[in-house]
Chains A and B, each alone.
Chain A
Amino acid sequence: MENNQTNTGNPSVDIVYRRKRNAEEMRHQVITFALMIFFTIVAFVAVGSGMSGWFTVPFILLLAAIQVVFQLYYFMHMSHKGHEAPALFLYSGLLVGLITILTFLTIVWW
């Protein structure tokens, strides 16, 4: 069923372009969703295969970081316009948090 309705009164909205972009976004979401499932399986395999913890722990953390990026950019639309302020605050918060963790790792516990 085709949906040719828009929720704006603007007559110059390009429905063809919109549909194309939505389809493209949908494709990205399906691809990233498949990748995320795949990464999760890989993580379980890495633990199950009995490899050294020195490999599996950083490996799983890396996979987790990639999944967070996928989540933010493909599912929460952070790449779209109008998300500059949240992005700024996310990254500054991340910076502050990581510096704190780095300091704790280097001068408190070791």
Chain B
Amino acid sequence: MSTNAQKKGFGATVWDYLTTVDHKKIAILYMIAGGFFFLVGGLEAMFIRIQLAVPNNDFVSAGLYNEILTMHGTTMIFLAAMPLLFGFMNAVMPLQIGARDVAFPFVNALGFWLFFFGGIFLNLSWFLGGAPDAGWTSYASLSLASEGHGIDFYLLGLQISGAGTLMGGINFLVTIINMRAPGMTYMRMPLFTWTTFVASALILFAFPALTVGIFLLMFDRLFGSNFFVTAAGGNTVIWEHLFWIFGHPEVYILILPAFGIFSEIIPVFSRKRLFGYSSMVFATVLIGFLGFMVWAHHMFTVGLGPIANAIFAVATMAIAVPTGIKIFNWLFTMWGGSIKFTTPMHYAVAFIPSFLLGGVTGVMLATAAADYQYHDTYFVVAHFHYVIVGGVVFAVLAGTQFYWPKMFGTMLNEVLGKITFWLFFIGFHLTFFIQHFLGLWGMPRRVFTFLEGQGFETANLVSTIGAFFMAASVIILLINVIITSVKNEKVGNDPWGDGRTLEWSIPSPPPFYNFKQLPLVRGLDPLWIEKMEGKKGMTPAEPLGDIHMPNNSFIPFVISFGLFVAAFGAMYRLDYAWGLPVLILGMAITFGSMFFRSVKDDHGFHIHKEELTDDNDKGVKA
């Protein structure tokens, strides 16, 4: 295999991506798949807002509304936000710690394909008799009563994609623990790597709860067990506990990498080191720990009793402390910095007050007594959209603009980027700010329409107009992506000019082996240190030598495809005679390909020293 880039045909490129184990290509796959599901979820959001634009609307029926609402939530959380963040983690984290790939490249590919097939399976429900309709939380008593196969699509689809996510999380943990470059101690890791680390630990501990919950519900629905059937001695509240033991850490799995992205952007464009680095690390870890002790605040109105409610209320409010530390650190990083208002910096600056609004309503909701008033109203909807859109989606958009050159070697247009930002920023606040008041006025969430004369008309219309602003902004982003890709003007190592961390010390996009020689890290913001001493790049930590690389493999795709087939069999087992054979066939494909992987020796290949010195760059003596 040569390092020289060669023009490849379309088919060869597709095959390359289907079999790739390179973290940078898997990142692109995550971005494409996550971006696609983001558009699908966005379309569902537009349908919701159109339906609610005027009172008594009949744009969609009540049942279809439930399906759209469920799929909007499920798609956005599991199939859009998480994969997009996984895309950034894959693209950036190994570069930031000076690694040549993740610890288990094969498992990385497997994780992606499991997520992809799970997501496709879930969305096929639209064409196969109706989507799930019990909300993204799928509370057991409601989801057990749901007719058709919608909920089964939810259960099997999330089970498959959840396995992929868990693998990804473990992979990132092992990578960060074992594969840091010489000198990259824990307390020199960039904040995005730290947040990836903590988010991965949360995935490791939280996803098993979801897996167990989904398994129990799947057995209740498909195999006649009674875990959540109250009439048969089951307990429906246990589903809520299991779901939220997973679900609350899940929101931190989403927001921590978002914090990480902003913690990278703000120092670069303030041209100052991150204020209070060690307190940022401490706050990140503390948020991770506290995230596991607050899940029952989603269940205040279940009737757990005043003592349980009080404990979980206090624990929840405690999270405001480390989050506050972070907010102040970002502000102090900008304070006195020489700030460049690029598009990513626009998002970062807008993120702070937007997210803060969501945080404040979070503390309001954490007050258990008051929560009885807010519960199941649009106030809750406004709260979580402020933290997830104002936090995670802002971070994804900012990260897209910021890391685009590192991933693709071209710069997204700044003017179009700023138009995207302003449309999105205005649309976001227009859509969701008014929903706080809708909630306080008594509009319930998850209801498909409202009547005239209840005082909700104007506010809902305003909210819908805001949603169209956001849709326009996403369309401009897509136009920006197309224009940039067609122009294809390549940029250098450090296109923003003020990169501080290792990823900006190598070409954009990086060669497939990332680092010709592993860099020597001499402190926090290693590239910045070298720049300040007048050097052009990193000092290598090793002499130029052969590099060991993994071979591409089609097996991850086949393993995931087998589970995809088996899921259809499991679901239609009782309806059709072919159900059981298909289930067995799917499992045979999966286990057969796993067996093949186990017995086939694949030692990878070496890039020889001579190939690395092909170009003019002879490498530096260590």
The chain A residues found within 8 Å of chain B, CB to CB, are 85, 89, 92-93, 95-96, 99-100, 103-104, 106-108
Contacts and interface: CB of A to CB of B under 8 A. Distances in A.
A99 B241 contact: no
Interface stretch (B214-222, B289-297, B448-456, B534-542): B289-297
A6 B235 CA distance: 60
Contacts of A100: 209, 245
Contacts of A99: 292-293
Contacts of B209: 100
Nearest to B238: A108
Contacts of A103: 241, 296, 308
Contacts of A93: 204-205
Contacts of A89: 173, 201, 204
Interface in B173-219: 173, 177, 201, 204-205, 209
A92 B201 contact: yes
Given A85-B177, A107-B308, A96 B235 contact: no
A103 B308 CA distance: 9
Contact of A108 (B201, B241, B293): B241
15 contacts: A89-B201, A92-B201, A92-B205, A96-B205, A96-B292, A99-B292, A104-B241, A106-B308, A107-B296, A107-B304, A107-B308, A108-B235, A108-B237, A108-B238, A108-B241
The 3 closest A-B pairs by CB, nearest first: A107-B308, A96-B292, A107-B304
A21 B288 CA distance: 39
A100 B237 CA distance: 14
B9 interface: no
Nearest to A88: B201
B497 interface: no
Contacts of B173: 89
B24 to A, nearest CB: 26
B305 interface: yes
A75 B201 CA distance: 26
Given A89-B204, A103-B296, 14 more contacts: A92-B205, A92-B289, A95-B292, A96-B205, A99-B292, A100-B245, A103-B241, A104-B238, A106-B308, A107-B296, A107-B305, A108-B235, A108-B237, A108-B238
Interface string B237-255: 1100100010000000000
Interface residues of B, number: 18
Nearest to B205: A96
B191 to A, nearest CB: 20
A76 to B, nearest CB: 18
A107 B305 CA distance: 8
A34 B241 CA distance: 42
A94 to B, nearest CB: 10
A12 to B, nearest CB: 23
Nearest to B237: A108
A85 B308 CA distance: 33
A89 B237 CA distance: 29
A100 B245 CA distance: 8
Contacts of B235: 108
Nearest to A100: B245
A99 B293 CA distance: 8
Nearest to B303: A107
B304 to A, nearest CB: 5
Contacts of B205: 92-93, 96
A93 B289 CA distance: 10
A93 to B, nearest CB: 6
Contacts of A95: 292
Contacts of A104: 238, 241
A95 B292 CA distance: 10
Nearest to B308: A107
A89 B209 CA distance: 17
A103 B293 CA distance: 10
Contacts of B293: 99
Nearest to B235: A108
A104 B293 CA distance: 13
Interface in B300-325: 304-305, 308
Nearest to A106: B308
Contacts of B177: 85
A108 B296 CA distance: 11
A92 B68 CA distance: 38
A42 to B, nearest CB: 33
Q: Which of A89, A95, A103, A106 has the most CB of B within 10 A?
A: A103
A95 B235 CA distance: 25
Nearest to A85: B177
A58 to B, nearest CB: 25
A100 B292 CA distance: 9
A85 B304 CA distance: 36
B25 to A, nearest CB: 28
Contacts of A85: 177
Nearest to B173: A89
A104 to B, nearest CB: 7
A110 B410 CA distance: 60
A108 B237 CA distance: 8
A18 to B, nearest CB: 26
A6 B99 CA distance: 31
Contacts of A107: 296, 304-305, 308
A92 B205 CA distance: 9
Nearest to A97: B205
Contacts of B292: 95-96, 99
B147 to A, nearest CB: 29
B308 to A, nearest CB: 5
A104 B69 CA distance: 31
A50 B292 CA distance: 41
Contacts of B201: 89, 92
